[in-house]
Structure 1
């Protein structure tokens, strides 16, 4: 008998993909009928559906079994580059410094504080030196996420609040991944929990100044935050009052405290106009006061404060200013009709500058803006604000071309503001910026740079700005990331990443996991497509509603630039995006499947038309301002029908596709990718596998805990690297 050589032995066959039964359901709108064979998969409580989803995961495990070592390698690379025992820079609030700890081997953060001292100098705002693994005298543990997560399938902290006197700590916990939280309140003097426990709440909680009342948000059955409620400590939860309820299903509601904490600010709005209502804590009997009613159709944010003893409101608004501008208004003006009000210009409109928002400290206005695609911060003295004597704006100066500088929070009375700085290859830095006084320049004080282990050197990598030309001639910015020693020989692999919705910008930011792709010779390209906010408000408006196709064709143009750049082999390009970026992935897979070797669509919004046509589904009505309303508008219905991924799957050879989802996701329901992969498999003329990875205990962000998060990212990157033939380190 002759033994067969191992190389000639047949490989273990991969099990066939699960085939869902077809149960045709007709959906008719505006004279058009669409037959949906897989809508039955929406029945989340059905054992048959759960069995099908488990079969999908089993098939995915079988198809990707050969990637297990690569996943392990990437996970370990992430782990070995991360200083696992670490902590945040303390931030001062009232008489305490607050910070978080991470401990090696533990998945969740530990929230802590130490007492602060005050002697009226800048030293009051110099955070104490706290070091990884070193006990801090007087440290108080507010919440240990690892203890909270014990025995739970999922854990996420949805917010926290502390009373002004520092005695009570309220925190919100999600143990399902559905982003509905349970609020508990801890007495920090005794460590005991109060009896007050509030179930099924949304993001957002704050204490009143006297600490007797807690404000919190509630979402309706479609997962839309619509009620602001008040809970008086020590009273039954059933007696909690509704401070405000928003009945317009297309409007989102939230609240915050003003910078000086004298007002509760309730914000109601969509992407096109808004309304702010203020509760003056000094005169709560007046109730909520509307500033600018939504009927004025102005999109604005408001910051009330006292200037020289006069009640003022700082407005960031789009009234005759598509990129927004900033005005200063006496509070008394809001009693007049909007056309009659006097608004003094503080920052004028500029077609090349997008104003993101503004806040105040006791001495300065702080503005977040975007110029030349870059998010940055400017400060202006309050003295003379809105008058001819207004001081000049000052901007902290950094030494990189592509970076992100954003607010990290500050106390109203503080002489410093906290800034977070990062770039594609600079790990996050925490700065305190000393606000300039009497004509002096501000000073940047570096408090921390996130350590990266494993011999990481920023100079080993390069980030460059390039431009692709869209089909209509528009130049689309690209961020091209690569190793500095990568040869430009046309043989490398590439991943093109995009999002392009809701005016969200893909700003420069450091990511440890991404290094694992770059170190395997992959060129990572971020396509800043229309629908995002990188180039101002017009950039967003040119990629929403009846111009949404620009988002998809921009991404394809970015892919064509990559293919012709000289860096990569056109046959070794993959695409990746998540949520609304997952819709982008589905659309480009339909439009140009031949351009991609693989596609990873994370929690993908691929059945968008079905979702938006049903206002009872989570968030559907809120989406009308982004995509249009296909229920009432035949033109919107027709336009969406032409691009939504599920309806446009066709008989072509699709590349390798992985749809990554979670069973408890409330933003993009698991049923969307579940239906999509069935349709893809049924119609694809190619032989590449199409898989769905589903986390049965996760939410929109996947499984909880940093280690599970690293595993998820390692899975995505291993799938891409394997498909691109880029599995080995350079």
Structure 2
């Protein structure tokens, strides 16, 4: 029985209505809260602060619980820790944390791990005086003397590019502003670097520039401009080091690569295979050829090869054919081996192919629900694959695997402190038959001894968009819920690619509602199987998963006792109708283009903000970041305001804005745990478990 008492007599914030009319395809929409998109309007900031104050007051009696949860989660983290070193071009690279410090220190050692440590960047010192500080990409020149790195001190994902001399410790004066965080590539001459400039309105990377060390950035040369704002771009150095590559990608639709020999940085980039609708490919350079992972007449992708000098599609030859039940997710090239990351039945698999004997095999794992991925593998001339393994009960484990002998060596497992014992918990894989007869996988974990009698609180999570698969992995924070009787579950709904490309095809554009129905039906299934009941069922999703949360509370508000919505994308029509909003144009193929009537009407039929009605809604905690570049803060702000106006229940509706952070939350490794403690305290309050 829930004995927790919320404070009485506290009035939630109110928001002024300033109706704004939108008309498209003869359809009229009235947006009473559109004005909340005025970031610099003091009334907007005052409203966000008022919502934070309301939350503080209403949850004031959970202060001790939040502190306890924070300390629990923090205590599981090994404060003095070090990443597993990897070797690249004669140096061992790693990062380490010092006790009590929020940020990593990036280091290296020459040739052997017994050599003297060189600190490349100490993010703790660099972050002094900043509320937010994130180091994005890092790239070392071929002569090992120069480090290019990017920094974001606002949380808007707009970075500045700096270059450091690792011999003298000097940071060069040039500071190139407004760049992409993780797209930097050195040429082979140790003085030329390629980077991507961002459009400051849309925040899209749209130009690749060439900079020469020691010169004025104003004299940098643009080497490529993406004219189609539906495409995202990137630049990188191939693993073989021979090429600098530029890619343009429209998510799940089309790809195009351009190549430049790294030894000739001022020459022109050449197109690998021209872009065309419904042709995706990725490339890996291997000796005198390229391997190509492509969906050309192969929805789940196949593997092909082509001579280095003849990259056009007409020259591609099949190496591994397309399979209906196996999705080829990744490709890794070594001197004598190929490694494919494959997805089958919502499980990641690693397939090793000996390029001499042409024999292949799958790496085997002991658990039935797990994830396995290639780790850092910069060395081309090796027969050792480094991969990561995790499950919902096994902390991330990094192995070195001899691809010839099939022997594996555990190099590092994330230490989980605070008394965690793997054998205290059980993980399962279930299959829910949803309304159209499709079987949707569910991964779940709980503490041993839990009875399946319907009495358990259960938190159900999903994402389900962009073809992004949610893999079952270890999460030490969840232990704080499991130890208090919660079951944690992941619904692998359509919109991801856990079951192959068709899983994505059935969950985007005109099939998007399948994502919502799958999640609802998974909730119903878990109730039917007596894992929980409505009064103890909770839902969680963020970003596009926050859209999912907005949709399910409109469609089935009675099914959930509480909902956590992080940085939720809930105002689909308005956002997708404004090409100046960051990332909008690149999303047309995911959600639709409102300029097309059929796409507009379908989006409107599920857009959470447009479908809020006068009815009862579940308890909800909505979170956002003021500087969010992915989902603007005003989407959840408007949504909460409209929910407050129309909802007919007495359930709790809280809105928390991090005034210093963006889409990814706080930058420090401990700060984000405070946000997590708020969420868990909210759930536990609803369960009456606040002691």
The normalised TM-score by structure 2 is 0.97
Which of 465, 469, 478 aligns to 2:442? It is: 478
Q: What is the Cα-based RMSD across aligned positions, in Å?
A: 1.5
Quote the residue 1:403 is aligned against: 370
Deviation string, structure 1 residues 91-142 (Cα, Å, up to 9, x no partner)? 111111010111121101111111115xxxxxxxxxx4xxxxxxx7501111
Quote the residue 2:296 is aligned against: 319
Quote the residue 1:266 is aligned against: 246
Is residue 63–residue 689 contact of structure 1 (8 Å, CA) maintained in 2? no
**2:407 aligned with 1:429, yes or no?**
no
Is residue 571–residue 596 contact of structure 1 (8 Å, CA) maintained in 2? yes
Q: Distance in 2 between matches of 1:544 and 1:454?
A: 42
Q: Distance in 1 between matches of 2:455 and 2:429?
A: 21
- Matched ranges for 1:242-641 at <5 A: 242-270=222-250, 271-284=252-265, 286-295=267-276, 297-306=278-287, 311-334=288-311, 338=313, 341-383=314-356, 391-410=358-377, 411-436=379-404, 441-631=405-595, 633-641=596-604
Deviation string, structure 1 residues 546-591 (Cα, Å, up to 9, x no partner)? 0000000000001101112222233111111000000000000101
Give SS of 1:636's match: helix
Quickly say closer, same or farther: Cα 1:139–1:456, change in 2 above 3 A: same
**2:203 aligned with 1:223, yes or no?**
yes
Q: Distance in 1 between matches of 2:685 and 2:234?
A: 43
Q: Which runs of 4+ in 1 moved over 4 A?
A: 283-286
Deviation string, structure 1 residues 318-357 (Cα, Å, up to 9, x no partner)? 111010000011234335xx4xx13222111001100012
Q: C-alpha displacement at 1:359, in angstroms?
A: 2.6
Q: C-alpha displacement at 1:237, in angstroms?
A: 0.7
Which of 189, 212, 227 aligns to 2:167? It is: 189
Q: C-alpha displacement at 1:12, in angstroms?
A: 5.3
Q: C-alpha displacement at 1:361, in angstroms?
A: 1.5
Deviation string, structure 1 residues 158-191 (Cα, Å, up to 9, x no partner)? 1111112211112111110001111221111111
- Matched ranges for 1:681-720 at <5 A: 681-720=644-683
Q: C-alpha displacement at 1:253, in angstroms?
A: 0.6
Is residue 429–residue 446 contact of structure 1 (8 Å, CA) maintained in 2? yes
Which of 196, 204, 212 aligns to 2:191? It is: 212
Is residue 606–residue 672 contact of structure 1 (8 Å, CA) maintained in 2? yes
Q: Distance in 2 between matches of 1:186 and 1:589?
A: 50
Deviation string, structure 1 residues 511-568 (Cα, Å, up to 9, x no partner)? 1101111111011111110001111100011000000000000000011011122222
Is residue 188–residue 263 contact of structure 2 (8 Å, CA) maintained in 1? no
Q: Distance in 2 between matches of 1:41 and 1:63?
A: 24
Q: C-alpha displacement at 1:284, in angstroms?
A: 4.6
**2:27 aligned with 1:54, yes or no?**
no
Q: Distance in 1 between matches of 2:193 and 2:384?
A: 29
Give SS of 2:103's match: coil
Is residue 531–residue 539 contact of structure 1 (8 Å, CA) maintained in 2? yes
Equivalenced residue count is 683
The normalised TM-score by structure 1 is 0.92
Deviation string, structure 1 residues 423-442 (Cα, Å, up to 9, x no partner)? 11110111111221xxxx32
Q: Distance in 2 between matches of 1:554 and 1:57?
A: 33
